[in-house]
Structure 1
């Protein structure tokens, strides 16, 4: 589990770089999707490791909110109110 957590944390760093550097909005949206799925995986690995069920709930909330963030960014990119 430790190796999985380290690999996922490295993946999070790559996602943060993609979101912060761009080069355009589509790349940033892809980076946000990467961050949401990888962040959820990190939370699930931690929930299993420390046996904390509340982290599973937080992971479920993150999964539920990720599409909302992506849709709002796409709508913003297209210029619709």
Structure 2
């Protein structure tokens, strides 16, 4: 069963590389943020798989912290993007 976990972790690493490509080439900041969210979710999945395969309970804690940081990052991005779009809309009136 550990082999299956490691195989899935390698597959997720390949998805992580695709996310890096999108961050580098993303035409907008929203595309880059979505790719960063994808990467955060993928890293959490990889850590959970490695924790299960290697019997490392500390990796589960790290995965939980990264999931919380990803959520905070998304909320911060949306709040900053929303406030900047409101400010740019006010200048047109």
TM-score range relative to shorter protein: 0.7 to 0.9
**12, 16, 19: which one aligns with 2:20:** 16
* 1:65 and 2:72 correspond: no
Aligned residue pairs total 80
CA distance in structure 2 between the partners assigned to 1:71 and 1:21 by the alignment: 23
Structure 2: unaligned runs, 5 residues or longer = 87-93
Normalized against structure 1, the TM-score is what? 0.88
Residue by residue over 1:15-65, the C-alpha shift from the partner in whole angstroms, topping out at 9 and shown as x without a partner, is 111112211111111101101111100000111111110000000001111
Structure 1: unaligned runs, 5 residues or longer = none
Q: Which has the larger radius of gyration?
A: 2
- Considering only aligned residues, what root-mean-square deviation do their CA atoms show, in Å? 1.4
Normalized against structure 2, the TM-score is what? 0.78
**Superposed displacement of residue 77, structure 1:** 2.8
CA distance in structure 1 between the partners assigned to 2:76 and 2:26 by the alignment: 17
